[in-house]
Structure 1
């Protein structure tokens, strides 16, 4: 018996038992696309100055996820996406990574019979060979392991960082622009794929993360409309990603796969105004827990979605960890893992058939990051939850921030607005205040703190943070042996045997 497979081009992921014209298919091809550091205001359907015709067409004919949250940095977002678990912390050349006892989405989809491929950024650990993606469920890996790369030399800190599985290939691709290179790799994988087997292709672009680099042809498109040079380059980087996605879609069409595909698109955190990303009108940016840092761009497109779901704005609450169970749901795989997932399946929500199972979203909770104890004062100073802890929680329309949120809290207008205003400052902002509460339905740009007026809501949300504190994956604190880049003459990669590390 021949089983037809459904392609899911999820700039996130795809699902198990799908209904197409009254017929069910057991599995789905899945293509997941992540754009690095893409700001809320950096796509055409939010900003008419940005040229993203393919992204706009898919979003406007799909399901836009308007109440969707990620972490405020690349590492925790990607670890959460891969594992479905609430993970926080950074790597920074330390011997850290997604713990090996955590099951990855690639593990689960491979278990369900998928061919699994990762193209582009990994950023989930590389200090030992066991942490590399082709040892964590992916059949193949073509990309880089660190947080960023030069888009032409594929180097970071003067060390090559481009590999095909274990082989360093930076020299071979020297001078190839990353977005085009990764897009070509994705189309090649699709071209060579045997459609009798389900495909999971994780497209993890290094753009639009700095450094600001793009072929001049893309920047020149913006000369008539954007005066700021860096913003023009950034916009060109976005347009190049859009073109790469267009080529992937064209390849799916040529392979007769697009009609049975789901396309999901996501950013991993907010944009960085220091490198011309923009989150207007949201407050803050990458590395902060304000909306500009954690409200992620996301949409799902597919012809197999119910007609009444297409072209809609979905405002149901969703978190980046939800893609793990959603994709396993779509694939028909076994959702069971050794550890309790934080993510929940949103496949029914995406199809417009259900309300979100979420009452809240834990955006951040890092018990290793606390303000000095003297700031534990005021009406919430004696609460069971230590309000100096860096945390953020969304509950219904309410958002609570605790601790010393040291990320930038300004509002940045895009440079293309005339006359341009670089930033708008909250003149009443007090960094010593440890509790802030916002009604995002009425105040989506977080201008008015209601923590003193709504003590009942604050206390309920602090109680939830207390419960969550015991269930998140602890931040990793291992700092030695740190990577010694001077000893890496070939390619950035593993520098210690994991057996050695356990003996330290």
Structure 2
């Protein structure tokens, strides 16, 4: 199956990845430059230390910051978010725009760093304690305060990158998608003290707190600008959508999971996506699916003994929180850069209306006493917090969901879970993560 950068290469694009890969590194041909990117600066695993750039467990860890296949020792001790931002800006600034550019910036922030990150957190506190406490002193929990500071660094990164596009003179002809992946992990494995309030569940679950994502899209081609789009879209849709935007014909992509959503985004035409398989796991026997254009969600069970299936995280809307700073939005690097184009200017009233529209209502009034799902069916349009299991009330929808899942089971490609290869241990290669199966064996 071809990747997006491989398909864009057919259209004469130059492609670069900055940041996270997490799609394999045993062989060079499964790393970013083996899968369509012309360059990669970042890490191959799922996370690393923000300053140490190390990942792994004690006795099985090493440096995971690379420029293509070369380990980057010189930047150890420097903040990953800043490094990725600077790399992105350099690529934007130096690119020859006779060829179109695809740039994917996949930040580490605000994911947790490596497991034993006490040293990294200490450096973070020393690096920005004064500014962090000045900006976010109203947050009593220092862990939440640090998380807010990390998120703020991503905000600044986005602004600097948009500003670089403007300075280079290519912003008007650029498509920008800023999106989240999974929900936050308030506690437990990979905890970072995030909050999915008021939604139910954390990362790893199929509940809305774990899987509902948000995105911001910019293009000069948008027919109706400054709008909210509620159509059902899945990450697999990005390949045919961006391929279409780049001038390709999605019909040439063959049979794929993604659906071309270009017209849905540009013109707000109704999506052609009727359903979305969240996950199907034959090892855990855990299934989640959306149907009826995202209205109904089917979940066949829970994982980790309901550990993450409840309602967690701070509300962030108490009296101690300051008034929303509209001026900071209007004066941000991103908005100033976009305002120069003059096709759609943010206003204070517009920001207030947008926030009101997007603001999640407190739907936690009637929390379920039984968190078990065996199975569960939720009406997300009426109950986004998934407080009421309507499986018994809607037997037809439940039956249709189960039948559709049975069809997915027939097409399932079995997992290839394997034990960790001891030969991959960075200790064998100068404490650096490598493509060990074809480089050293």
The equivalent position to 1:159 in structure 2, one of 62, 78, 95, is: 62
- Report deviation, 1:417: 4.5
Alignment pair present for 1:301 and 2:218: yes
Where in structure 2 are the equivalents of 1:342-491 lying within 5 Å? 342-370=257-285, 389-396=286-293, 397-406=295-304, 408-414=308-314, 416-418=316-318, 428-431=369-372, 433-479=373-419, 481-482=421-422, 483-491=424-432
The equivalent position to 1:494 in structure 2, one of 430, 435, 438, is: 435
- Report deviation, 1:221: 4.0
Normalised to the residue count of structure 1, the TM-score between the two structures is: 0.70
Aligned to 1:41: none
Greater share of helix residues, 1 or 2?
2
> Quick check: 2:310–2:371 contact (8 Å CA) kept in 1?
no
CA distance in 2, matches of 1:480, 1:151: 24
CA distance in 2, matches of 1:336, 1:472: 24
> Quick check: 1:168–1:490 contact (8 Å CA) kept in 2?
no
**Could you say what the CA RMSD is over the residues aligned between the two structures, in angstroms?**
2.5
Aligned to 1:104: 3
- Report deviation, 1:334: 5.0
CA distance in 1, matches of 2:43, 2:218: 28
Gaps of 5+ in 2: 114-119, 321-363
> Quick check: 2:264–2:270 contact (8 Å CA) kept in 1?
yes
- Report deviation, 1:129: 1.6
CA distance in 2, matches of 1:395, 1:185: 42
Aligned to 1:243: 156
CA distance in 1, matches of 2:439, 2:204: 30
The equivalent position to 1:340 in structure 2, one of 242, 255, 259, is: 255
CA distance in 2, matches of 1:445, 1:252: 39
CA 1:454–1:243: 2 relative to 1, 3 Å: same
Aligned to 1:285: 202
> Quick check: 1:218–1:237 contact (8 Å CA) kept in 2?
no
Q: Deviations over 1:288-311 (max 9, x none)?
A: 1100000012121123211x2x11
CA distance in 2, matches of 1:329, 1:156: 37
CA distance in 1, matches of 2:379, 2:276: 15
> Quick check: 1:109–1:331 contact (8 Å CA) kept in 2?
yes
CA distance in 2, matches of 1:264, 1:132: 23
Gaps of 5+ in 1: 1-101, 371-388
> Quick check: 1:151–1:178 contact (8 Å CA) kept in 2?
yes
Normalised to the residue count of structure 2, the TM-score between the two structures is: 0.79
Q: How many residues align?
A: 375
Alignment pair present for 1:262 and 2:262: no
CA distance in 2, matches of 1:474, 1:348: 34
CA distance in 2, matches of 1:340, 1:289: 26
- Report deviation, 1:339: 6.6
Aligned to 1:184: 86
CA distance in 2, matches of 1:199, 1:469: 39
CA distance in 1, matches of 2:75, 2:112: 19
- Report deviation, 1:336: 6.2
Q: Deviations over 1:85-135 (max 9, x none)?
A: xxxxxxxxxxxxxxxxx2111111112100110000000111122211111
Which has the higher relative contact order, 1 or 2, with Cα contacts under 8 A spaced 6 or more apart?
Answer: 1
> Quick check: 2:16–2:38 contact (8 Å CA) kept in 1?
yes
Alignment pair present for 1:227 and 2:173: no
> Quick check: 1:106–1:136 contact (8 Å CA) kept in 2?
yes
- Report deviation, 1:415: 6.1
Where in structure 2 are the equivalents of 1:28-177 lying within 5 Å? 102-157=1-56, 158-169=61-72, 171-177=73-79
Greater share of strand residues, 1 or 2?
1
